[in-house]
Structure 1
């Protein structure tokens, strides 16, 4: 392609983009909610779930491909204190932890002894009392947020 051809085609590109933008705006629709949460990390998911359980209509957005933040995208275990199994967390976080352990009990071949362990740590990590695969954390969050 010669330089003049490139320049003439490049000058048409903004018109193409503008017409696509106009079409997208024409097909956009409005949504209404009591609460809009920007960001679907762990905190955003917790806020959305708490608000929905309180009877609010919630819209949660997330700029990446999936929810859960570092827990689901970077395999970073939860940052917790050593007594997390007995006190110091919300009921909702306790439900998440129980659901994650139950996910492993339902979907993974575990020994009878491991399956019976109330404080199952599937990743056997030492940085947290509960380490898990990112995809498991994502599945648990999706299940908790499902209508």
Structure 2
């Protein structure tokens, strides 16, 4: 459980510090875009009011608070799962990454009314129109890790 809590805390803090630095200190909310290493890495401000890639973004405040409640409920469910089921340290770490990322994006929805996405990466002639953030990366890595590192190990006979 300590691994999960520590991973969640570190993920949450890194996510929120990165958003504060880029959105507030670098003033990306006003500037709109900062070329860091174009086209491979560009800070491009995008306020995500919906789900992944802005899906369901036109449903206002009800959906905003629904996403916050869902993030907290999923995080609580994962914590209960970690406490009840024996997991490897990689499973516990993965759970922490997912929880920290989900709560980081939930805090954005409370503070800004939307998730602050700013990372944009393109390569090799492909121009990516979407932005994401550290929390999104950790949610994906955590979910993938939970798939890989949890569950019963079946003997192959």
TM over 0.5: no
Taking structure 1 as the reference length, the TM-score comes to: 0.24
Larger Rg: 1
